[in-house]
Each structure stands twice: as structure tokens, then as C-alpha cells.
Chain A
Amino acid sequence: MTFSYEILLLLLLLVTAAGAIMVKDLLSSVLLLGSYSFFLALVWAWLGAVDVAFVEAVVGAGLATVLFLLTLFGTDPKDTRLRRPPPSLAKLIVFPLLGVLLLYAASDLPGFGDPNSPASIHISPTYLEQSYQDTLTPNVVTSVLMDYRSLDTMVETVVIFSAGIACALLLRRDT
């Protein structure tokens, strides 16, 4: 077994994701979701997407957990236990079928790291070859995000800004 470490990681990912959905207490669910984000960050790092892994670890496992916990402590303590109705027959039939369909479609995807996949032959080579001469920035991800696609990043910043403003308008009373 050469891939035992990766398989263990994916198993932990599945277990924490299922646990976050199935567990009866909201507090445990939040903490399981945090550990799910942490394992997901490890999976991103394993796939080579270090920047995404960084964001996932910091935002998913750190900030989102704190926000969820603050929201939970702000609500009535009696509300934290969950009552779920058992799934209906239609759900039990439709969702496995959807899963089979997705697995069938996944067999057509290009292999991981395939140099001939559409994503790697369109514009990525241009970025990889020219970004250092253009921007003197060794990290290609940063130069794409902040220079080639700078306008997109600016509008993402506007989205974060409006999220903060909306939270303040909805929740803050008088401070």
C-alpha cells in the first residue's frame, strides 16, 4: 500500500463530514466542521494547492469556527440539540442515483496533473512562463490573482466588505 497515508486522510475527511451532519448536538457539529476544514486543508496541500490549503486552514478551521461558536452562544442554549425527521423514501432513492450519475461523469474527467487537459493548455502556460518577467513575483498564484486578474480580486474584496456592512446593519445595536 503506497497510498495508505492519503487514503487515511480521505477516510478522515469522509468521517468528519458525515459526523458533522449526523451528530445530534450543534456544538459538536461545529467542532467537527472545524476539523473537517483542517483535514480538507491537508488534502489541498497534498494536491499541491498550498495557497488554497492556507486559506482553508485559516478561514475554515479558525475564523468560521469562532463565528459559529459566537452565534451559538448568542442563541438560546436550549436550541443546540437537533431533531431531524427520518429521510423520506424519495430522498433515499434519488440521492444514491445522483451519486452514481456523478461517479459515471467523473470517469470522463482528465487525470490529475494531465499536461493535455483543457485547463493546462489554454492560458496557464503563458502565465507560468511570463509572470516572473512581467511582475517580478515568483509566486504565480499571487501574480495571477493580484495582477492579471486584479479586477476580479477587487470585486471579491467588495463582496467581503458588503458582507461586513450587512452583518453590522443587521446585528449591531448601538456600539
Chain B
Amino acid sequence: MIRPHDSIIVQTLGRFLIPVVQIFGLYVLFFGQYGPGGGFVGGVILGTSMILSVLIFGHDASRSQVAKKVLHGDGVGMLVYAGVGGLCMIGGGEFLNYANLEIPGLEAASRRSLGIVLTQIGVALDVAVTAVSIVFSLSTEEIIEESING
């Protein structure tokens, strides 16, 4: 278990930086079609912001509740990604052939663009959850307690 950091400088900077990092992560995630970035990087940045909040405010702070809730989302990203592929199959095409997403009023190219956005959200969710989950696994109570006592 990680305890909150003592320094007021670290706490204040964390309070200020974490929302900025999260907004930047969302920007990178949705800007991935127009510039560098994409689901993987966006997901890592979002996960890193939650890790930062856990490292600064500790496991039990109210700011870290989001990170704790995220832990229950193992596999949701995979479900989104594979679900888009399944929707393409329902639409009558191959697995992950976004042109077969059944959305009226959209041309094939726009459907592909939409499919890319949806799968990127899936990748980002998966990566963010995995990053937070590994950090929580590495900082379980017993391991850290042992290092303090021994």
C-alpha cells in the first residue's frame, strides 16, 4: 500500500498536473487519425495519470477511487475491440472490415473512419486498465510492508 506523499509541493503540483495529463491523453487518443498518437499512446497517458494520482495521494485517497474502480475493467477494452469486429460480421462482412458497420447515412470511407475511432478507444481502455493493474499488483500491502520492516 502506498501512503500519501508528505510534500505540499508534490501534492499541489499533482492536483494541477493530473487533469492536464488526462486532457492531453484524450487529445492524443482522438487526434491519432490526424497526427501522431493513437489508442496505445493515449491509453498509456490516461493510465499514467491515474498511476500519478495513486503515487501522490496514496491508495485510499478519494482521488484514487477512479484508479481503483478501473481495476474492475479488465477485458472491457478487448470486448470493445472484438465487439466492433463482431458488428462488422453482423453487418455482412468479414471480421473487422469496418465498411460493413451498419450505420445508415454514412459512406464506406466514413464508416472505416468511425471503426478506427472505436477500436482505438478499445485499445486505449485495455492499455490504461493494464497499466493501472500492474502498478497495483506491484504495490500490494505485504510486499511494501516487508521492505519497510526488514
Q: Which A residues lie at the B interface, using CB under 8 A?
A: 50-51, 53-55, 58-59, 62-63, 66-67, 70-71, 73-77, 133-139, 141-143, 145-147, 150-151, 153-154, 157-158, 160-161, 163-165, 167-168, 170-173, 175
Contacts and interface: CB of A to CB of B under 8 A. Distances in A.
B13 to A, nearest CB: 16
Nearest to B127: A160
Looking at B74, B75, B85, B96, which has the most chain A CB atoms within 10 Å of its CB? B96
B85 to A, nearest CB: 7
Interface string B67-97: 0000000110110011001000000000110
Given A74-B143, A147-B116, A173-B142, A161 B34 contact: no
Contacts of A51: 36-38, 41
Given A63-B44, A76-B150, A134-B112, A142 B138 contact: no
Interface in B12-64: 28, 32-41, 44-45, 47-48, 51, 55
B136 A145 contact: no
Given A147-B98, A158-B78, A168 B36 contact: no
A139 B37 CA distance: 9
Contact of A66 (B33, B36, B51): B51
Nearest to A168: B137
B149 to A, nearest CB: 11
Contacts of B134: 67, 163-164, 167-168
Contact of A154 (B74, B81, B115, B136): B81
Contacts of A167: 133-134, 137-138
Given A74-B147, A164-B74, A157 B34 contact: no
B140 A175 contact: yes
Interface of B: 28, 32-41, 44-45, 47-48, 51, 55, 74-75, 77-78, 81-82, 85, 95-96, 98, 109-110, 112-113, 115-116, 119-120, 122-123, 126-127, 129-131, 133-144, 147, 150
A160 B130 contact: yes
22 contacts: A50-B36, A51-B36, A54-B37, A58-B44, A63-B48, A63-B51, A71-B138, A74-B138, A136-B110, A139-B33, A142-B32, A142-B38, A143-B33, A146-B115, A147-B98, A147-B112, A150-B119, A161-B74, A164-B129, A164-B133, A167-B133, A175-B136
Contacts of B147: 73-77
Contacts of B133: 164, 167-168
B96 A151 contact: yes
Contacts of B51: 63, 66
B140 A173 contact: yes
B125 to A, nearest CB: 10
B136 A136 contact: no
Contacts of A173: 140-142
Which 4 residue pairs are nearest across A and B when measured between Cβ atoms?
Answer: A164-B130, A50-B36, A171-B137, A135-B112
